[in-house]
Amino acid sequence: MLVTTANDLAGYRVVRHIGVVRGLSVRSRNVVSNIGASIQILFGGSITVYTRLAEEARQEAFDLLAQHAHEAGANAIIAMRYDANEMAAAVTEVIAYGTAVWVEPLPD
């Protein structure tokens, strides 16, 4: 699956627009990770516990996005974006979305 944040894909032409696709991940922080993060906050610097949680949520949303596009019959996604919102205390949603398309390589 080709994925780009651009509105087109260099070296390819869009032959069919399929529509908007998305992948959604909802994650919560657990007590253990909050304690670990609190200790890291005391010393400053990168909060690796939360960094790892954020990266896992983004990766899950991205993987679900690609799966949704594949199931819709796409071989590429253009204009891909991420968004995140806090739904409740310690609960965050991450959504990956874009436009599913079918592309073909341009002739040499």
CA-angle at 59, arms to 56 and 60, nearest 5°: 85
Q: CA of 21: how far to CAs of 4, 10, 14, 64, 67, in Å?
A: 13, 21, 16, 9, 9
Which residues, given as ranges, of the chain have pLDDT below 50? none
Q: Which domains does the chain have, with CATH numbers?
A: 2-105 (3.30.110.70)
- With a threshold of 0.85, does the pTM exceed it? no
| pLDDT score, position 14 | 97
Percent of the chain with pLDDT over 90: 65
Q: How far apart are CA 70 and CA 86, in angstroms?
A: 28
Mean pLDDT, rounded, of the chain: 87
**What is the distance, to the nearest Å, from the Cα of residue 32 to the centroid of all Cα atoms in its chain?**
25
